[in-house]
A and B are shown apart, each in its own frame.
Chain A
Amino acid sequence: MFSELFLPVLMVIFMLVVGGYAVAVLDRLVASALGTPQAGGIWLAPMARGAWLLTQHANATEAPDWRAWRLAPALYLALAAGGLAVVPWSASLVATDLVTSVVLWGSVEALATVVIFLHGWSANSLLALIGGYRYVALGLSYILISMFVLIGVALPAESLQFTQVVASQEGLWNVIRQPLGLPLFLIVGLGMTFWGPLNLADSTDLAGGTASEISGPPRLVWDMARATMLVAFSGVAATAFLGGWLGPWLPGPLWMSLKMLAVLSVLLLLGRLLPRLAPERCVTLMWVVLLPLSFIDLVWAGIGALL
């Protein structure tokens, strides 16, 4: 029983630490490849930034909701950990091999909206508040798209368990079998971590939005939570569409890491290449274009599963 509890916790903590660092390094790599000047070593910079944040004093506003404000980054980190817990690294190497992991991931996505809104609201500062409320519109929109796409992935697997979803891709990966799935899911990923074009919560036109009033250790936890949520999302995307641990020659976990790195790179690239969407345009796009596309994806998946 000890190893059944202790090992999963260790696994997830390891993934949180390594994943967060990897995202920070990868983001700097992408930035310097695209032309933003980066100083110093790429490998040292995230550590230096983390050390600086630990030494800076945490900020306060005049009358925030203290508990919610300090809880929100930790809650977001916990959600990322929950997501990472269901990502399978091989047929037997999963932190928690839940029978209903798709449902768990859906609840992680839904709760992410709540947590991000809470972070913006609890600071009791105007720019943070606008960021939080603006994000909720996006948050409510991407949930449906994500769920239709994931249900489509679950159909051929006849199960809501991620290990079964990967097992069902032994013949053909879902990215080819259900071509609409991965692009739609990547957009959901950008929304969940409010990254790049969908950064309505922490945007530059709000001087940092929900993050405009935080400094020091809470800001470090918030940034880490965003990075680890990206990692968790890329794990789920690799599981659901890129065949998880399946692949010749290399061991399963290594394939999984490579696929996660690939998805991460695409997300980070998209984050830097696309401008921020106007909120109205974003919501209209999601409900009028992307949601019907996810319907089509579901129907396609259904027909494919029956044939």
Chain B
Amino acid sequence: MELFALLIILIVALGAGLLLQWLPMRHQPRPNWSQRVPFLGGGTPDSHAWSRYHVRYYPMTLLLIAFEMEMMFMYPWAVVFVEKGMKAMMEMGMFLAILSVGIVYAWREGVFKWQ
């Protein structure tokens, strides 16, 4: 039931956001082409902005995926942690340590310098 309420809340908020944009815009005329030129301080672009953008932080995203998978395991782990005691701590510690080696490796390889 709560999840359903959450869903309703999300839909209502989304609808409110869309309505708040659409209602005043209903009667506005379509902007001219001269208004639609992207703002570049008065200059002109050569092409559309959409392009194969060189994302320099790509190696970092691979590192993130590794940690994300670990995070997924930590959610249920957090709930049973106190019950299981030291054993749970050790297990998660091993998991974290292995992944930390990954960070150190990435750091040494200059992932964070965006080469």
Verify whether A and B have any Cβ pair under 8 Å. yes
Interface residues of B in 1-57 (CB under 8 A from A): 1-6, 8-18, 20-25, 28-31, 33, 35-41, 45, 48-50, 53, 55, 57
Contact in complex: A151, B49 (CB < 8 Å): no
Contact in complex: A95, B5 (CB < 8 Å): yes
Distance in angstroms from B29 CB to nearest chain A CB is 8
Contact in complex: A98, B3 (CB < 8 Å): yes
Q: Which of B50, B53, B61, B63 has the most chain A CB atoms closer than 10 A to its own CB?
A: B50
Residues from chain B with Cβ under 8 Å of A125 in the complex: 38-39, 49
Interface residues of A in 202-229 (CB under 8 A from B): 207, 212-213, 216-218, 220-221, 225
Contact in complex: B55, A133 (CB < 8 Å): yes
Could you say which interface size class chain A belongs to?
35 or more
Contact in complex: A96, B6 (CB < 8 Å): yes
Residues from chain A with Cβ under 8 Å of B20 in the complex: 74, 217, 220-221
Distance in angstroms from B96 CB to nearest chain A CB is 6
Distance in angstroms from B15 CB to nearest chain A CB is 8
Contact in complex: A57, B61 (CB < 8 Å): no
Contact in complex: B21, A70 (CB < 8 Å): yes
Query: Can you list, as one digit per residue, whether each of A43-61 has a CB less than 8 Å from chain B (1) or not (0)?
Result: 0000000000011011111
Q: Is A147 an interface residue (CB 8 A)?
A: yes
Given the interface contacts A78-B17, A217-B25, does A144 sit within 8 Å of B36 by beta carbon?
A: no
Q: Is B107 an interface residue (CB 8 A)?
A: yes
- Please measure, in the bound complex, the distance between the C-alpha atom of A198 and the C-alpha atom of B32, giving whole angstroms: 35
The number of residues on chain B lying at the interface, defined by a beta carbon within 8 Å of a beta carbon of chain A, is 70
On A, residues with C-beta under 8 Å from B are 1, 4-5, 8-9, 12-13, 16, 54-55, 57-63, 70-71, 73-78, 80-82, 85-86, 95-98, 100, 102-104, 106, 121, 123-129, 133, 136-137, 140-141, 143-144, 147-148, 151, 154-156, 158-160, 207, 212-213, 216-218, 220-221, 225, 279-280, 283-284, 287-288, 291-292, 295, 298-299, 302-303, 305-306
What would 17 A/B residue contacts be, using CB atoms closer than 8 Å? A8-B6, A12-B13, A58-B25, A75-B17, A77-B14, A78-B14, A81-B12, A96-B6, A125-B49, A129-B49, A136-B57, A140-B57, A151-B71, A218-B21, A287-B60, A287-B63, A302-B92
On B, residues with C-beta under 8 Å from A are 1-6, 8-18, 20-25, 28-31, 33, 35-41, 45, 48-50, 53, 55, 57, 60-61, 63-64, 67-68, 71, 74-75, 78-83, 85-86, 89, 92-93, 96, 100, 103, 106-107, 112-114
